[in-house]
């Protein structure tokens, strides 16, 4: 396992891993990395400068690659998505709180983001622990949410202002997920509704759902549940899309930013019948 060190970033999510090179990681390094991911929700690895080949190899350790149907691929690497901001762009990809692929029946388990070109300042990515948020809900509201499922839709890509390729044939039917899921690996209950893709609760109208969803989006993203990743050249961040939501800060207008992202296939999500 070498000379790993793991530093927690905040009380509820995030860990910085030092002393590990993803470019030539051993099987035991990768197993440890996966454990850290499930314990901390997001792991940050400085100074990786990953080649696209190594990026793909790390992703394949976690599972099959889940190619996003809306993102532009990196030239010659169809498995890798570009997360690009051009200097003239006003909005950025992922600039509101969300979790990747929740509009899919089996949402991506993790996303692996590799910094390629960073702006001179800003462009930080925030993460919020959905497990910590779930624990902090009142027993009454948690109990009610445990009995609900919510619809998730990719329709918000239709009016994308961030250069994503909204091909008509890419859109699929909405899907249902429990409002509180049990994390498939860590076993923890996690809130699973997000502002980009959740439209309404099953059996409720959109109007009825909106006040509770709005409340939940504000509740789960309170600063106490979050960690902020300040990118450094060559840095890689890996997050679990069931344990955390994330938010990309679009505060570097006039500058370019380019990240490479791979998403890894996940599984259908189960609800929670008891928090015990
Ligand atoms: O650019 C970032 O920091 C994150 C963007 C995002 O939401 C994603 O890559 O899934
Ligand atoms: Fe995202």
Q: Is the CB of 126 under 6 A from ligand 1?
A: no
Is the Cβ–Cβ distance between 180 and 189 less than 8 Å?
Answer: yes
Closest CA to 84 of 262, 268, 263, 261: 261
* Residue 98 annotated among the catalytic residues of the structure: yes
Find the DSSP H helices in the chain. Answer: 27-40, 52-62, 130-136, 139-146, 206-220
101 classed as catalytic? no
Does residue 90 have a pLDDT over 90? no
Task: Indicate if the pLDDT at residue 164 is higher than 90.
Answer: no
Does 261 participate in catalysis according to the annotation?
Answer: yes
Query: CB 46: neighbour CB atoms within 10 A?
Result: 15
Task: Write down the pTM of the prediction.
Answer: 0.97
Residue closest via CA to ligand 1's atom 4 equals: 248
Domain 5-264 sits in CATH at 3.60.130.10
- CA dist 157 and 153 (Å) reads 9
160 vs 96, which has greater pLDDT?
A: 96
Two tokens, residue 13: 């999510």
| Strand pairing class (175-178; 77-85) | unpaired
pLDDT of 1 above 50: no
**φ, ψ (nearest 5 deg) of residue 135:** -65, -30
- Contact between 2 and 20 under an 8 Å Cβ cutoff? The reply is yes
100 pocket-lining for ligand 1 (C-beta < 6 Å): yes
Q: How many CB atoms lie within 10 A of CB 74?
A: 19
Mean pLDDT confidence for 150-172: 85
Q: Token digits for 96?
A: 């509101």
Atom number, ligand 1, closest to the C-alpha of residue 124? 3
Which strands form 149-152's sheet, in the order they lie side by side? 175-178, 149-152, 198-201
The angle that helices 52-62 and 27-40 make with each other, rounded to 10 degrees, is 70
Residue bearing tokens 């009142």: 138
Ligand 1: does its nearest atom lie under 6 Å from the Cβ of 261? yes
111 CB near ligand 1 (under 6 Å): yes
- Statement: residue 29 has pLDDT above 50: yes
As a whole number, the mean pLDDT across the chain is: 95
> What is the Å distance from ligand 2's center to 246 Cα?
6
Helix (H) or strand (E) holding 195, with range, is: none
Q: Which position among 12, 152, 260, 261 bears the catalytic label?
A: 261
For 111, 140, 148, 269, the CA distances from 203, given in Å and listed in that order, are 31, 20, 9, 19
- Residue 163 in this model has a pLDDT that exceeds 80: no
Distance of CA 201 to the CA centre of its chain: 21
- Residue range 203-212: mean pLDDT, rounded: 98
Tokens at 226, concatenated: 């979050």
Query: Are the C-beta atoms of 117 and 110 separated by less than 8 Å?
Result: no
Is the CB of 85 within 6 Å of ligand 1?
A: no
Q: What integer pLDDT is reported at residue 276 of this predicted model? A: 55
- Per-residue pLDDT band for 170 (boundaries 50, 70, 90) equals confident
């Amino acid at each position: 396992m070498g000379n790993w060190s793991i530093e927690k970033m905040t009380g509820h999510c995030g860990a910085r891993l030092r002393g590990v090179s993803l470019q030539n990681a051993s099987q035991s390094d990768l197993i440890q990395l996966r454990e850290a991911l499930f314990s901390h929700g997001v792991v940050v690895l400085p100074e990786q400068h990953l080649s696209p080949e190594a990026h793909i190899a790390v992703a394949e350790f976690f599972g099959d690659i889940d190619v996003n149907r809306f993102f532009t691929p990196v030239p010659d690497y169809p498995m890798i998505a570009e997360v690009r901001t051009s200097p003239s762009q006003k909005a950025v990809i992922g600039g509101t709180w969300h979790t990747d692929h929740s509009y899919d029946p089996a949402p991506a388990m993790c996303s692996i983001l590799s910094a390629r070109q960073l702006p001179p300042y800003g462009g930080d990515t925030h993460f919020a622990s959905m497990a910590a948020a779930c624990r902090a809900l009142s027993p009454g509201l948690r109990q009610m949410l445990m009995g609900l499922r919510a619809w998730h839709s990719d329709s918000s890509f239709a009016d994308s202002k961030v250069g994503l390729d909204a091909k008509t044939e890419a859109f699929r039917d909405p899907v249902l997920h429990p409002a509180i899921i049990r994390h498939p690996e860590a076993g923890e209950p996690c809130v699973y509704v997000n502002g980009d893709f959740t439209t309404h609760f099953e059996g409720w109208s959109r109007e009825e759902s909106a006040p509770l969803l709005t409340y939940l989006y504000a509740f789960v993203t309170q600063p106490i549940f979050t960690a902020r990743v300040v990118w450094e050249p060559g840095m890689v961040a890996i997050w679990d899309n069931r344990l955390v939501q994330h938010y990309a800060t679009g505060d570097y207008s006039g500058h370019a930013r380019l990240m490479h992202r791979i998403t890894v296939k996940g599984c259908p999500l189960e609800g929670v019948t008891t928090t015990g």
